[in-house]
């Protein structure tokens, strides 16, 4: 800071000096020659120099700003040269310049060799003054020398060491010897090398001309060097020649001129080459000087380019991720981003819709991928035609779509969906069904992913339903989800606390009306005594696999009950236990069933394994081997809900079975044609099952009429409210003992 202020002050001073000197120069230029009285010899010499015989002056190279020579500069320049130019201005005496050969030890030798007539910039040394062969001018300029060292050098402590001096700088050698007699003088070809020697530690000190020092210390490479002021040698620089009549005349003219050069003129020249002349940085010095700024610049540039590249890349990536290539709709990532923005804007109520095509994979397989792709594109086009500008649609994967719409009411959205579905139906030559789940955005603060989940859950409520294909996420559904979560989390404790209890629904022989068996049905009894029916939790536990534990738990309760009857020597009937389809994928199912039943010592024919027909048709080979092995162990195998789903008569012959349980649906047929057909089917199935030597039982029998019909077609046994509802263990036990 201090330095900067100092520089500013000196620069201003220089400007003031320049301004004040300018009129003086003009005056000197016009009147200078006439004012100085010259002798005849002097006038003759001046004339001669003007007529093509200028005086040759030797200039000492590498001493800028004192003097400098080509090739770096286009012409001779420096304080000495400028002073000589002033002399020419004032006297008319003309000069020509040449370089003092550095190889020669001193300018004196060059003078003797007639390389030039005069030499400029010679320091007035005693040796020169005392030599009668030489003649020296008055003070041309300040010829003081300075001692340069590294900042922390203390020259007075130097007992031995080296001092660098430029070769040919006779005065420097003399001064160095005088000031530091103990130090060894090392010569270098130029002043830059002299300072380099100090920088690199080859020498401890350097002796250079004061002007050269001022100039060279501006070189950033020399930033750790200083001029040691106490070791300054005050000296004058002058013009020197061999003592001949001609040089005497020349020196006399020069001296006359020098006496005319005012202090202001001299200062102007001197400042022009020292303070106001900035150091000429070569590329490496420039790099060195601004190394920290450059380094910071490079780092900033790299950082900025990295950030720009990253931004561009992420924008590109985001764009790619945000679009679905096939349909042009948003991708899931893009959709979530767009929803999060749209949600913040005010407007009509928002709805998130999740939709897909039922059995799309089957369509893809049958009609080919190309047709499938066309179908997907078609859906987007149709749905888009119902969307407003700010609405968005997304294809998250395969045939799964999502949309965000603004509508004045849920009803108008449903109306639009119905219209879109009708259009879609007309556009495809197949009875494809679309399923929709809608989440009316009531709470803007819940996370977007959760909102999407809600729409997906709503869609699941209408899964496989072709009539009612729009599900809405409402309060009821919300409560159910909460309830599901609660049930899932309390399953373990419910098992431990024996909250699951077995109810028994008796089975009766059609003709004798005797109890021939029972079905164990699970109930979840809460701590408050309320009962949760299995329909509310079976599917849930099937999804997370907990049903396996529950079914084995039920098997144990049944075995316990049978064991109790056995101990009391009461008559025993086979009790069926329901096993979920999930078991068929566990390798240890057969083993586990066996283990449990054997542990309780219950004869295997008293346990019936009940699996639904759909369970059995899933993987016929696997089912065949598992149920076959259980049957071989002595268990009875019962096919539950026969006729409820897509029945394949094939299963009847493929799967090892003992009992076929007719689905209650047949009995629910409406009176009239439908019932007639249902009855024909029952009749046919009963006869078919009998032909296969299997036992047939009808469930869900509620009325006498149904009972009579089933009896008339030869059904073997009956289960239903008509005879008995499912009973708790005590009631069933009572029923068994009272028979
Ligand atoms: P499911 O195996 O078809 O059981 C018959 C269901 O019909 C029982 O419902 C029973 O109470 C009901 N039912 C019996 N007679 C009549 C009738 O005359 N009219 C009407 N409307 N219904 C009748 P529940 O006990 O609610 O069980 C429902 C379903 O839950 C069962 O259907 C079965 O799939 C499943 N389930 C019950 N307990 C278990 C179990 O321990 N394990 C497994 N995996 N599933 C079970
Ligand atoms: Ca059953
Ligand atoms: Ca059933």
Q: What are the tens digits of pLDDT across the range 104-115?
A: 657 778 888 888
CA of 611 to the centre of ligand 3 (A): 9
Ligand with minimal distance to 538 CA: 1
State mean pLDDT over 313-332: 79
Q: Which of 258, 214, 222 is nearest to 239 (CA)?
A: 258
Rg (CA), the chain: 57
Q: How confident is the model at residue 32 (pLDDT cuts 50, 70, 90)?
A: very low
CA of 87 to the centre of ligand 3 (A): 129
Which atom of ligand 1 is found nearest the CA of 521?
A: 38
CA nearest ligand 1 atom 34, residue: 578
CA of 522 to the centre of ligand 1 (A): 8
**Conformational region of residue 207, where left means phi above 0, alpha means psi within -120 to 50, and beta covers everything else:** beta
Q: What is the pLDDT of residue 316?
A: 66
Half-sphere exposure of 507 (CA within 13 A, CB side): 23
Q: How confident is the model at residue 156 (pLDDT cuts 50, 70, 90)?
A: confident
State mean pLDDT over 10-21: 39
Ligand with minimal distance to 667 CA: 1
Q: How confident is the model at residue 11 (pLDDT cuts 50, 70, 90)?
A: very low
* Bridge partners for 403 per DSSP: 353, 393
Q: What are the tens digits of pLDDT across the range 663-704?
A: 999 999 999 999 999 999 999 999 999 999 999 999 999 999
If one residue of 578, 660, 702 were mutated to test the ligand 1 pocket, choosing by the most ligand atoms within 8 A of its CB, it would be 578
Q: What is the C-alpha separation between 733 and 739, in angstroms, rounded?
A: 10
**Quick check: 123 pLDDT over 80?**
yes
CA of 312 to the centre of ligand 2 (A): 62
Q: What are the tens digits of pLDDT across the range 644-657?
A: 876 677 888 889 99
If one residue of 517, 534, 536, 725 were mutated to test the ligand 1 pocket, choosing by the most ligand atoms within 8 A of its CB, it would be 534
DSSP 376-443: HHHHHHHHHTT--TT-EEEEEETTEEEEEEE-S-HHHHHHHHHHHHHHHHHH-SS---EEEEEEE---
State mean pLDDT over 729-739: 94
The percentage of residues in the chain with a pLDDT greater than 70, rounded to a whole number, is 91
The percentage of residues in the chain with a pLDDT greater than 90, rounded to a whole number, is 62
CA of 474 to the centre of ligand 3 (A): 31
Q: What is the pLDDT of residue 276?
A: 58
CA nearest ligand 1 atom 25, residue: 521
Q: What is the pLDDT of residue 650?
A: 80
Q: What is the pLDDT of residue 108?
A: 79
Q: What is the pLDDT of residue 278?
A: 64
**Conformational region of residue 698, where left means phi above 0, alpha means psi within -120 to 50, and beta covers everything else:** beta
State mean pLDDT over 80-105: 87
**Quick check: 591 pLDDT over 50?**
yes
CA nearest ligand 1 atom 4, residue: 521
Q: What is the pLDDT of residue 619?
A: 83
Residue partners of 652: CB distance under 8 A and separation at least 6: 639, 660, 688, 689, 692, 694
Ligand with minimal distance to 609 CA: 2
CA of 566 to the centre of ligand 3 (A): 28
Which helix (H) or strand (E) segment holds residue 211: the answer is: helix 210-216
Q: What is the C-alpha separation between 37 and 250, in angstroms, rounded?
A: 14
Backbone angles phi, psi at 714, to 5 degrees: 90, 20
CA of 298 to the centre of ligand 1 (A): 77
Q: What is the pLDDT of residue 158?
A: 77
Q: How far from 210 is each of 49, 226, 229, 231, 579, CA to CA, in Å?
A: 33, 12, 10, 11, 108
**Quick check: 572 pLDDT over 50?**
yes
Ligand with minimal distance to 521 CA: 1
Q: What is the C-alpha separation between 339 and 351, in angstroms, rounded?
A: 11
Q: What is the pLDDT of residue 33?
A: 45
Q: Which of 640, 638, 644, 649 is nearest to 695 (CA)?
A: 638
Which atom of ligand 1 is found nearest the CA of 542?
A: 44
**Quick check: 502 pLDDT over 50?**
yes
Q: What are the tens digits of pLDDT across the range 252-287?
A: 999 999 998 888 888 888 777 765 566 666 666 667
CA nearest ligand 1 atom 45, residue: 578
Pairing of strands 184-188, 162-166: parallel
Which tokens is 93 given?
């005496």
Residue partners of 148: CB distance under 8 A and separation at least 6: 195, 198, 205, 206, 207, 208, 213, 217, 225, 226, 227, 228
Higher pLDDT, 392 or 8: 392
CA of 576 to the centre of ligand 2 (A): 8
CA of 548 to the centre of ligand 2 (A): 16
CA of 574 to the centre of ligand 3 (A): 17
Minimum mean pLDDT among 6-20, 157-171, 205-219: which range?
Answer: 6-20
Q: What is the pLDDT of residue 400?
A: 96
**Quick check: 19 pLDDT over 60?**
no
Q: What is the C-alpha separation between 379 and 652, in angstroms, rounded?
A: 41
Q: Which of 243, 237, 249 is nearest to 91 (CA)?
A: 249
If one residue of 506, 521, 611, 728 were mutated to test the ligand 1 pocket, choosing by the most ligand atoms within 8 A of its CB, it would be 521
CA of 608 to the centre of ligand 3 (A): 14
Which atom of ligand 1 is found nearest the CA of 699?
A: 15
Backbone angles phi, psi at 599, to 5 degrees: -60, -35
Q: What is the C-alpha separation between 589 and 522, in angstroms, rounded?
A: 20
Q: What are the tens digits of pLDDT across the range 411-441?
A: 999 999 999 999 999 888 778 899 999 999 9
Q: Which long-range contacts (CB under 8 A, 24 or more apart) does 716-722 make?
A: 716/509, 716/510, 717/507, 717/508, 717/509, 717/510, 717/516, 717/517, 718/507, 718/508, 718/510, 719/505, 719/506, 719/507, 719/508, 719/519, 719/661, 720/664
DSSP 157-190: G-SS-EEEEETT-HHHHHHHHHH-TTSEEEEESS
Q: What is the pLDDT of residue 17?
A: 37
Which atom of ligand 1 is found nearest the CA of 579?
A: 44
**Quick check: 251 pLDDT over 60?**
yes
Higher pLDDT, 155 or 696: 696
If one residue of 494, 538, 576 were mutated to test the ligand 1 pocket, choosing by the most ligand atoms within 8 A of its CB, it would be 538
Which atom of ligand 1 is found nearest the CA of 533?
A: 26
Task: Give the strands of the sheet with 184-188, arranged side by side.
Answer: 184-188, 162-166, 205-209, 145-150, 225-233
76 near 68, Cβ under 8 Å?
yes
Q: Which residue ranges have their beta carbon within 6 Å of ligand 1?
A: 505, 521-522, 533-535, 538, 547, 551, 554, 578-580, 640-641, 699-702, 720-721, 726
Q: What is the C-alpha separation between 536 and 520, in angstroms, rounded?
A: 17
Which atom of ligand 1 is found nearest the CA of 726?
A: 11
| Mean pLDDT score of the chain | 88
Which helix (H) or strand (E) segment holds residue 364: the answer is: helix 360-367
Q: What is the pLDDT of residue 5?
A: 41
Q: What is the C-alpha separation between 502 and 485, in angstroms, rounded?
A: 23
Q: What is the pLDDT of residue 263?
A: 83
DSSP 499-559: -EEEEEEEEEETTT--EEEEEEEEEEE-TTS-EE-GGGTHHHHHHHTTHHHHHHHHHHHHH
Q: What is the C-alpha separation between 653 and 655, in angstroms, rounded?
A: 6
Q: What is the C-alpha separation between 561 and 570, in angstroms, rounded?
A: 11
Ligand with minimal distance to 720 CA: 1
Q: How confident is the model at residue 167 (pLDDT cuts 50, 70, 90)?
A: confident
For residue 663, what is the DSSP state? -
Q: What is the C-alpha separation between 124 and 568, in angstroms, rounded?
A: 142
CA nearest ligand 1 atom 20, residue: 700
Which tokens is 117 given?
């007539």
């Amino acid at each position: 800071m201090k330095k900067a202020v100092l520089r500013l002050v000196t620069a201003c001073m220089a400007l003031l000096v320049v301004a004040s000197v300018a009129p003086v120069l003009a005056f000197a230029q016009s009147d200078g020659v006439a004012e100085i009285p010259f002798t005849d010899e002097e006038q003759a010499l001046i004339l001669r120099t003007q007529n093509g015989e200028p005086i040759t002056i030797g200039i000492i190279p590498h001493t800028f700003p004192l003097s400098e020579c080509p090739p770096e500069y286009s012409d001779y320049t420096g304080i000495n040269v400028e002073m000589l130019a002033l002399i020419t201005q004032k006297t008319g005496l003309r000069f020509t310049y040449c370089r003092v050969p550095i190889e020669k030890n001193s300018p004196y030798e060059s003078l003797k060799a007639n390389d030039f007539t005069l030499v400029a910039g010679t320091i007035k040394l005693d040796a020169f003054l005392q030599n009668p062969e030489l003649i020296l001018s008055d003070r041309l300029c300040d010829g003081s020398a300075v001692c340069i060292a590294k900042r922390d050098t203390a020259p007075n402590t130097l007992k031995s060491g080296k001092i660098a001096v430029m070769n040919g700088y006779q005065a420097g050698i003399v001064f160095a010897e005088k000031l530091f007699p103990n130090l060894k003088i090392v010569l270098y070809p130029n002043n830059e090398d002299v300072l380099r020697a100090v920088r690199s530690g080859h020498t401890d000190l350097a002796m250079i001309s004061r002007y050269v020092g001022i100039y060279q210390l501006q070189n950033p490479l020399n930033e750790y060097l200083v001029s040691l002021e106490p070791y300054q040698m005050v000296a004058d620089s002058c013009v020197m020649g061999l003592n001949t009549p001609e040089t005497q005349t020349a020196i006399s003219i020069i001296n006359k001129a020098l006496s005319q050069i005012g202090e202001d003129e001299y200062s102007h020249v001197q400042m022009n080459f020292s303070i106001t002349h900035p150091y000429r940085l070569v590329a490496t010095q420039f790099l060195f000087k601004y190394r920290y700024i450059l380094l910071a610049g490079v780092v900033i540039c790299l950082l900025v380019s990295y950030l720009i590249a990253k931004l561009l890349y992420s924008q590109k990536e985001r764009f790619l991720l945000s679009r679905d290539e096939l349909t042009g709709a948003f991708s899931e990532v893009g959709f979530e981003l767009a929803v999060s923005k749209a949600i913040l804007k005010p407007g009509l109520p928002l709805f998130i819709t999740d939709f897909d095509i039922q059995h799309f994979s089957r369509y893809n397989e049958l009609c080919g991928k190309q047709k499938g792709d066309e179908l997907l594109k078609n859906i987007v086009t149709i749905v888009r035609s119902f969307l407003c500008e700010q609405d968005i649609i997304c294809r998250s994967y395969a045939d799964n779509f999502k949309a965000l719409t603004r509508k004045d009411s849920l009803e108008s959205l449903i109306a639009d969906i119905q219209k879109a579905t009708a259009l879609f139906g007309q556009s495809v030559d197949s009875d494809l069904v679309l399923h929709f789940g809608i989440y009316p955005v009531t709470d803007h603060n819940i996370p977007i992913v959760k909102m999407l989940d809600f729409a997906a859950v709503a869609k699941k409520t209408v899964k496989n339903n072709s009539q009612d294909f729009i599900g809405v996420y409402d309060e009821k559904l919300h409560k159910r989800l909460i309830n599901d979560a609660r049930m899932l989390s309390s399953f373990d404790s419910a098992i431990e606390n024996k909250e699951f209890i077995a109810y028994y629904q008796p089975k009766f022989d059609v003709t004798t009306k005797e109890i021939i068996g029972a079905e164990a049905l699970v109930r979840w009894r809460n701590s408050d005594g309320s009962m949760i029916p299995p329909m509310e939790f079976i599917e849930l536990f099937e999804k997370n696999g907990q049903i396996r534990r529950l079914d084995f738990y039920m098997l144990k309760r049944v075995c316990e009950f049978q064991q109790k009857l056995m101990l009391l020597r009461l008559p025993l009937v086979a009790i069926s236990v329901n096993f979920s389809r999930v078991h068929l994928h566990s390798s240890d199912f057969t083993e586990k069933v066996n283990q449990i039943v054997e542990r309780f010592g219950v004869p295997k024919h008293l346990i019936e394994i009940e699996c639904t027909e759909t369970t059995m048709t899933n993987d016929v080979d696997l089912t065949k081997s598992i149920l076959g092995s259980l049957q071989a162990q002595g268990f009875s195998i019962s096919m539950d809900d026969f006729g409820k789903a897509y029945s394949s008569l094939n299963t009847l012959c493929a799967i090892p079975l003992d009992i076929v349980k007719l689905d209650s649906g047949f009995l629910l047929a409406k009176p009239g044609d439908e019932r007639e057909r249902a009855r024909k089917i029952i009749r046919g199935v009963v006869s078919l099952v009998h032909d296969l030597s299997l036992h047939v039982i009808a469930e869900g029998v509620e009325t006498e009429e149904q009972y009579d019909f089933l009896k008339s077609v030869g059904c073997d046994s009956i289960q239903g409210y008509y005879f008995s509802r499912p009973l708790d263990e005590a009631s069933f036990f009572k029923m068994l003992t009272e028979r």
